[in-house]
Amino acid sequence: MSIKIEKDMRKTFAIISHPDAGKTTMTEKLLMFGNLIREAGTVKGKKSGKFATSDWMEIEKQRGISVTSSVMNFPYKDYKVNILDTPGHEDFSEDTYRTLTAVDSVVMIIDATKGIEAQTIKLFKVCKMRGIPIFTFINKLDREGREPFDLLDQIEEVLDIETYPMNWPVGMGKRFLGILDRYNDQFVKFNGSERESLIPFDTLHSGDYKDITEDPTFKETEEEMLLLDEAGDQFDLDKVIKGDQTPVFFGSALAPFGVETFFDTFIDLAPTPQARKTTEGLVEPEQEQFSGFIFKIQANMNPAHRDRVAFLRVCSGKFERGMSVTLPRTGKAFKLNQTQQFVASSRGTVDEAYPGDIIGIYDPGVYRIGDTLLEGKQTFEYDELPQFPPELFKRVTAKNVMKSKQFKKGLEQLVQEGAIQLFKTYPMENYIIGAVGELQYQVFEHRMKHEYNVDVMFESIGERIPRWLTDNQVDTALFDDRNLLVKDREGEFLVLFKNDFALRWFTDKHKDIELIDLFEVN
């Protein structure tokens, strides 16, 4: 098949949410639709002791593996679906953010009882910054939650994105009757644990469904929907693709209710792989020659082999196992023999892959996060991956001062790989590690010990707000432990502010000093 046909079948996306909103439950339901797993109710259960296929972090850990995040792929209808997991909870790290650079769209799950929560905002910002289309699923309608209008208002206000409700819930919790599916003109009836039934709008008022149509909650909701039709925004796929409008679906991942109609609609509307920016302009996915970039490197997936796997997103052409590629950063050529495709806990060899696919390639220690790999005589590089502002900071030293040479070597390599961000205090040159999540420190400690034979010590300096200085002529007297002056790996000055208050106090006092939030300049 041609590359164009293959790429038009690919739907590559991630699910983002705050912990406990229902990401695992949703992923599991999608895997069931894709016939990847058969058993219902295998959601990771603290009670049942079972876990979802996507939630294999703990098992990996028990086998001595430090960090993980999975990619699941399965056929669905006419499509080949790739779902990239975005680890949350204590596994939240820069990898979670970087995963978003490798997808073509995102499903954002919001818990209807809680509304938008902190982690969703962070992940949403990254999507918005990169113009990734976002589809919203408001979950847990089987519980009493916040009013639908409230939830839409909150999305519009907090996330600053236009919403378009694709369906509208009729009641919630105990009074939950179903959803009015505006997009497909049908009422989807909630039947508890039984399968949902679909009633087209034009037969709904035929008299056969009086039990529904005469229900006061239903009548009220129909009026609300008319209001939406008249006063709400129009559905606009162009805006959705640009990331300026989010289609909103209501349902329950657990029931499951509204999940199948959501997924069917999502899979049709979500974009297939598009042209991507490079140092030599846009590169189309259907071009003959293979290209891709590495968005994540995972060490020690198999402790017996101490191997590393680089996760590569195929961006153009056809990948074939054994093919020769070049790494433009170094100009070196490689043969890609050892490749894997990930289906949660099982890993199979991949012989070919197309734009939108994610493959794992064996890394003998030559790749860095953000590296481009190219077939033939191409020379471009994909846009650099953004650096994400770390939030947690710790001083780090080697327990044994005799090991300072290995310590420095390890630090340097792990920084290059993108596993951590390193800063040096000024002028003392103490090392400070910045990370997005706690897990990154555990991984760092583990790898320093096992790969470089160095025991490290941490001293937390807490959550900090990093702001870069635009002027390299700084007056060191202005800074102390509260507002700590450090240099990043490029030698640029930044200040790690103790908290919001310290930042505001400093900005008020020193109006002449310009401070930059890395997020804004990205």
| Binding region for ligand G4P (CB under 6 A) | 17, 19-25, 43-47, 139-140, 142-143, 252-255
Query: Two tokens at 223?
Result: 């009026």
The CB-of-189 to ligand G4P minimum distance in angstroms stands at 17
Residue 422, annotated as binding a ligand: no
The CB-of-161 to ligand G4P minimum distance in angstroms stands at 21
Residue 192, annotated as binding a ligand: no
Smaller CB separation from ligand G4P, 18 or 487: 18
Residue with tokens 């909150």: 154
Q: How far apart are the first and last CA of the chain?
A: 38
Smaller CB separation from ligand G4P, 44 or 447: 44
**Where does residue 20 fall: left (phi above 0), alpha (psi -120 to 50 degrees), or beta otherwise?**
left
The CB-of-257 to ligand G4P minimum distance in angstroms stands at 8
The CB-of-58 to ligand G4P minimum distance in angstroms stands at 13
Backbone angles phi, psi at 217, to 5 degrees: -65, -40
Residue 142, annotated as binding a ligand: yes
Smaller CB separation from ligand G4P, 189 or 276: 189
Residue 171, annotated as binding a ligand: no
Smaller CB separation from ligand G4P, 170 or 336: 170
The CB-of-150 to ligand G4P minimum distance in angstroms stands at 18
The CB-of-252 to ligand G4P minimum distance in angstroms stands at 3
Residue 364, annotated as binding a ligand: no
Q: Which long-range contacts (CB under 8 A, 24 or more apart) does 143-147 make?
A: 143/112, 143/113, 143/172, 143/173, 144/113, 144/172, 144/173, 144/174, 145/111, 145/112, 145/113, 145/172, 145/173, 146/112, 146/113, 146/114, 146/115
Smaller CB separation from ligand G4P, 111 or 363: 111
Smaller CB separation from ligand G4P, 47 or 305: 47
CA distance 131 to 160: 13
Residue 508, annotated as binding a ligand: no
CA distance 328 to 295: 16
Smaller CB separation from ligand G4P, 41 or 131: 41
Residue 19, annotated as binding a ligand: yes
Residue 27, annotated as binding a ligand: no
Measured over the CA atoms of residue 42, residue 258, residue 152 and residue 177, the dihedral's sign is negative
The CB-of-77 to ligand G4P minimum distance in angstroms stands at 23
CA 14-18-20 angle, to 5 degrees, is: 105
Contacts of 473 by beta carbon, 8 Å cutoff, 6+ apart: none
Residue 141, annotated as binding a ligand: yes
The DSSP secondary-structure symbol of 368 reads -
Residue with tokens 């909650």: 217
Binding-site positions: 17-24, 85-89, 139-142
Binding-site positions for GTP: 17-24, 85-89, 139-142
